[in-house]
Amino acid sequence: MNKTTASSFRLNPWVLFVIFLAANSLLSYAGLPLQAQLWVGLLGLVLPFGLAFTQARSADPIFKKSESFDQKCFDPPAALWILFFFLLILTRFYRFTTLPVWPLADEAQIGLLGIDQARHWHGNLLWCATRVEPMIFWVMGLYFKLFEPSFFSLRLLPALFSIAVPLAGYWAARQCFSKLTSFLFAWLMAFSFGELTLSRFLSTVMLVPLFQCLVLVFLGKLLSQAKPAWKTLIGLSLLAGIGFYTWTNWISVWLAIAAVLFFYFFLEKPKNAGGFALFTLVTLAVILPLIFARLEPGGMNHITQVGGFPSWRILFLYLRGIFWDGLSSFPYGSNWGGIFNPILDSLLLMGILYLLQTANRKWILFVSACAFFPLLLAALTWSVELYRILPLLTLFTFLAALGIRALMPGGSRLRSLGVIALCLFGSFGLDADNFIFHYSDFQNNPGAQKWRSLEHLHAFQIMEKLSEQTGPLYVFSEFLTDYDDRTLNIVDYPIDALQNPRLSQSHPQWAVLLDHIDYAPYLMKRFPGMKYEQLAKDNSLGLFLIPAAQIAPGDLKAWIEADRVYRQVDLNIKNKNPLFPWGKFTEQFAGLKSFDTGDRFLNSVFWEKTASFKVMAGNFIDAAKAYGKASQTGYPAAHLRYDAALAAKLVGKLN
């Protein structure tokens, strides 16, 4: 086997890397105008890479070709492994509930549906209005049978999965590659910005990297066997099929694996070509129930966001989000540079050159297939959402690990360790800084994309302090007409006697109400001991603290029943079929009329909610009438009169 080292570069690898690094840094952090960005990209990336690529494919290549491009090298020192595990645990639990300080509305949606799943198991194969895959909701249902819902438990699950991902990544890489390359891959996976965000973010996509690595374990085993083992192939096929239940983008993973197996069976093992048919049939059998669910009315809602022809513009926006500017996808992307930092960007380019110069055709075909299908899926979509190409980040991270191997000098263990330390710690430092001081800092969040609610955070801080002094609370958070953000319902679960069965026999001293601040004068007159606060100057949300003793027993019973019914409606909204008419949701709480206790506040809430659904259904005539009834039979709050007038105005415009 020929010896290949970084010193074999005809172009000095470090000069090339520094040029890449300078260009990527300018594109990521300098905020250059478009024309300057184009010049930097051309002179700092396209021309140097093109020159190196040309030399790599010439008759006198930079690296001599060898049968295996992953040269045997020293094993990672024990000290690096110890540091790896120390940082892995530290990064997953450092400032666990303050980085970021509050969950996203999407996390609350998954959490609340998980709580409902734990109480009443549903076998739904498609969830939410976007009709996403069921795996995360099944996992959450089981998880909340073991752990009480809270902000801590909401963060714990993604942290545990995020610990498992780099370990599974190392296991997968070891099937075909050296211990050193596998370690570099695991480190870069563990401490990249993308994985740091996933470790604090309960999302429908968080299972994809783990399943991808587990599938690669079986694929690596199969490729490294002299004769294909059918047990390994069946295990690979089953996992590849189960992966379809994680998230929609799994199709790109499956297609990449199918392409690799096609090359493997028909080009390398033609006598075992039946293995490809077995893989296809087993995965088809596993996903058949999901296919039938997709064919039901509304089942293709999320899939229809894929267009008919690839768009180079959309593809470029995805690549820009990965490498230089993820702001448009925030909070699913970075607000300071791309998901990959400039060091990883540059290592990736070096890794591609290393692959082209040292690998045989088989590995080049395999890597190309793994890159092609996620990129194709990205190009077919109508908008940019970086998590759609999450599987591509795993491949790019591995290529960045090869980039470190390309920079390592041959024959010097000490100098090689210096290169490794420089790359690993430099990349980790940039991504840790990005996550802590940019991504998690509300002041640095783009104005139109502040998806974490400071108002609900402020409300919880007040509630938590009150609960520490007096015990559990009645938290009436379902009287709002805002169905998007229910983060408070998850975070306050441990102190909310209305949600938490453990507190059902308690007798709270205080009732907490979240609703429009315009109700304040009417509620203050009714409950003299009430305290209230407008949670933000630019927001109409009010927090009302009402002594429970001042609420008549019959009124309290009616409030609790109304909260229960509205809470169920909220769950139904979160898991609605997109074809279900908005106007029909009013039927789900029509029975509340039988709880008429003369409570004017509940009357206002009832008719305001009725009106809001009429608005969403486009029925402005009935909406105007309902807003009018909210003021007539309930409290004539200013916002109700305004909404009634606005609905009437819209009726006039339509006529």
Looking at residue 9, what is its pLDDT? 42
Contact 318/386 with Cβ under 8 angstroms?
yes
Tell me how far CA of residue 428 lies from CA of 199, 392, 417, in angstroms: 15, 20, 16
How many whole angstroms separate alpha carbon 142 and alpha carbon 221?
31
User: What mean pLDDT comes out for the span 409-426?
Assistant: 92
Looking at residue 64, what is its pLDDT? 46
pLDDT value at 131 more than 80: yes
User: What mean pLDDT comes out for the span 442-463?
Assistant: 82
pLDDT value at 494 more than 60: yes
Tens of pLDDT, residue by residue over 167-221, are: 999 999 999 999 999 999 999 999 999 999 999 999 999 999 999 999 999 999 9
Looking at residue 497, what is its pLDDT? 97
User: What mean pLDDT comes out for the span 490-494?
Assistant: 97
Q: Which residues pair with 476 in a beta bridge?
A: 513
The percent of residues above 70 in pLDDT, for the chain, comes to 93
Read off the amino acid at residue 376: L
Q: Which helix (H) or strand (E) holds 93?
A: helix 78-93
Read off the amino acid at residue 467: S
Largest CA-CA distance found in the chain, in angstroms, rounded: 90
Contact 506/513 with Cβ under 8 angstroms?
no
Tens of pLDDT, residue by residue over 62-114, are: 544 443 466 678 899 999 999 999 999 999 999 999 999 999 999 999 999 99
- Indicate the average pLDDT of the chain: 91
Looking at residue 594, what is its pLDDT? 54
Q: Which residues pair with 306 in a beta bridge?
A: 381
How many whole angstroms separate alpha carbon 291 and alpha carbon 350?
41
Contact 458/536 with Cβ under 8 angstroms?
yes
- Where residue 233 falls among pLDDT bands split at 50, 70, 90? very high
How many whole angstroms separate alpha carbon 114 and alpha carbon 156?
14
- Where residue 125 falls among pLDDT bands split at 50, 70, 90? very high
The sheet carrying 510-516 orders its strands as: 473-476, 510-516, 539-547, 531-536
The two structure tokens encoding residue 323: 């490498």
| Among 151-165, 307-321, 540-554, the least confident range | 307-321
Give the β-pairing of 473-476 and 510-516.
Answer: parallel
pLDDT value at 610 more than 70: yes
268: nearest Cα among 174, 171, 365, 172: 365
Looking at residue 304, what is its pLDDT? 63
